[in-house]
Structure 1
Amino acid sequence: MPPQHPLLPADVTVLERSWLSANNILLTDAHETVLVDSGYCTDAAQTVALVEQALDGRPLTRLLNTHLHSDHCGGNAALQARWPQVRTTIPPGQFAAVRDWDEARLSYEATGQQCPRFRADDELLPDGTVLLAGRPWQVHAAPGHDNDAVLLFQAGTRVLISGDALWQNGFGVVFPELDHIPGFAQVGATLDLIEQLQPAVVIPGHGPVFDDVDTALAIARRRLAGFVADPQRHARHAAKVLLKYKLIEWQHIALPDALAWLAGTPYFVRLHDEHFADHGLHDWSLALVQELAQAGAARLEDGVLHDS
């Protein structure tokens, strides 16, 4: 296991994952073991193995999710199968959707992503405190990327678990805006909240742990201002992110199959129809593929699209 960031306490272990899976954060004391976020389902066996290795024979007693996008909770079912008694806590707003397993409300159907069914035992309520592995963590609403998301802040150590509200070089796609629900202002308010909390170190949902919080906030605010000024730019960015994410899962796929997947994925079709209808769906999809390749985020060889 790689060395941890020097500002993290010894009882906080970060398992940094690839961009397909959210980082896993393990909190432990003598009485409790807690995992925050569980990655994507295709990495679930690796997630279980990594947690087993880190726990060294101890059971996992609690599982939390910062939000319910598939790359943050896709390993929940596998962890529940491995440790059936684990208590699973999710953010508010989607408890009924998980209970009824409504994949439309949970976004998996629209984005063409997978998430094995899991159970939720209770909700992680904002504006309160939750005791995790012997330390009190503040729970704050973190709307924007997902309007039901939360972040966790430990005031004593000034450690922030930010989910996709803040990365070292930005933040997650603002999905509410794509559903005609205000999201940009919520992103700004969440960034203001993070600044007010004054964390010493941030554990993001993706990418490395970082401590230059002021620089990360400045980068995020510049990106947000660009999206506010040009919502179509955000829509195109979202389309490319969703395609890139699926490509990470595929690793490689015949170009016609990739284009067929795009044409059959509701989010892509809606983004095209609402923002890019002056181009045919096939031509627009092909342009997205070519832009990913030109940016070095994909590779197209002999009619096969590869992840890079």
Structure 2
Amino acid sequence: MKLPATMRVFERGWLSSNNILFLGHEHTALVDSGYVTHAAQTVALVRNALQGRHLDLLINTHLHSDHCGGNASLQRAFACRTAIPAAEAAKVRTWNDDELTYKATGQQCERFDFDDTIASGDVLTLGDMTWQALAAPGHDPHSLILYCPDERILISADALWENGFGVVFPELEGASGFAEVRDTLKLIASLDVKYVIPGHGAPFTEVGKALDTAFSRLDYFVGDPVRNAQNAVKVLLKFLLLERQSIPLSQLESLLSGISLFEEANRRYLHKSPSELAHWTVAQLVRAGAAQVHIDQLVNKD
């Protein structure tokens, strides 16, 4: 499918979320800004695509570090207005490290400000098209997705990927998440969508197939929540490895023990010693072809 002429999608990879640029006649906007270590690249991509125009608005679907880590750099570069999910406003205003996810996941995010908030039911004009903001809890309790009924396009963030969805983080801390994922998938299934732009991975058109895969994966996790915890700890370590590219094996145990979400998932579901958990997670990444051990280093493998 060919996108409308007023849209550009920057597919970024798994460390940074995809970015969607809108080039409307009256204003420009960007949805999601990637991870902080890629912020300079994000600014360069956006500046090049704008071709001398100004970036007017930055929107975040949710505030995980890989979706908003470029916010501060974009604000400095363009002095753009920034809109975040309404439920996150108080946390960002005070920059509450205990409630924002960056400390809990061991990830980075440069502090940023915001000008506006977006809530489910809000209607936005982006790229001269009308978009609906819809609540999409599950992966993140306050995540939004954006839907354009006229073009049948869905910006799904981490609520739906071609082969699944993002880690169900609330369940790791004993909160409800699986039921919310199911409700979000049902909501997406109720929409007339022909083209999905996910938070990670290439845009896709086989929406029914993706939903079937997502529902099946959800049933797999609901059947045994330990599987979600196992997936989460692998994802958390893989993210650190993507960021650093290599980690000394001798530092892994202390590094992972300092990540509260990693510890919470272990305490509730996995019940391994710190050493056992570090070795298990490394073995899983190596077996999946996502990492390799070279002498005394765990090395990223794409």
Which ranges in structure 2 are unaligned for 5 or more consecutive residues?
none
Matched residue type, 1:106: L
Q: What is the CA-CA distance between 1:276 and the residue it aligns to?
A: 2.2
Deviation per CA, 1:220-270: give whole Å up to 9, x if none: 000000000000111111010111011100111211123321011111112
Letter in 1 for 2:48: Q
Equivalenced residues, count: 301
Contact kept? 2:34, 2:42, Cα under 8 Å: yes
> Contact between 1:145 and 1:164, CA under 8 Å: does it hold in 2?
yes
SS in 1 for 2:277: helix
Structure 1 residues 1-308: aligned runs within 5 Å: 6-84=1-79, 86-277=80-271, 279-308=272-301
Distance in 2, matches of 1:156 and 1:299, equals 46
CA–CA separation in structure 1 for the residues paired with 2:226 and 2:95: 32
Q: Indicate the RMSD between aligned Cα atoms, in angstroms.
A: 0.9
Deviation (angstroms), 1:50: 0.4
4+ long deviations beyond 2 Å: none
Report the Cα distance in structure 2 between the residues aligned to 1:82 and 1:20, rounded to whole angstroms.
Answer: 22
How big is each residue's C-alpha offset from its partner over 1:146-169, in whole Å with a ceiling of 9 and x where there is no partner?
A: 110000001111110000000000
**Alignment partners' CA distance in 2, 1:282 and 1:210:** 40
Q: Contact (CA 8 Å) 2:253, 2:274: kept in 1 or not?
A: no
* Structure 1 unaligned blocks of 5 or more: 1-5
TM-score by length of 2: 0.98
Distance 2:280 2:175 in 1: 27
**Distance in 2 separating the partners of 1:252 and 1:106:** 26
Identity %: 49
SS at structure 2 position matched to 1:287: helix
User: What residue is the counterpart of 1:3 in the other structure?
Assistant: none
Distance 2:278 2:87 in 1: 33
Secondary structure of residue in 2 paired with 1:271:
helix
The answer to whether the 8 A contact 1:7-1:200 is kept is no
Distance 1:178 1:153 in 2: 29
CA displacement at 1:21 relative to structure 2: 0.2
Q: In 1, Cα distance between the equivalents of 2:25 and 2:108?
A: 35
Q: Which amino acid aligns with 1:103?
A: D
Asked if 2 retains the 8 angstrom alpha-carbon contact of 1:7 and 1:201, the reply is no
Kept in 2, the 8 Å contact 1:158–1:201? The answer is yes
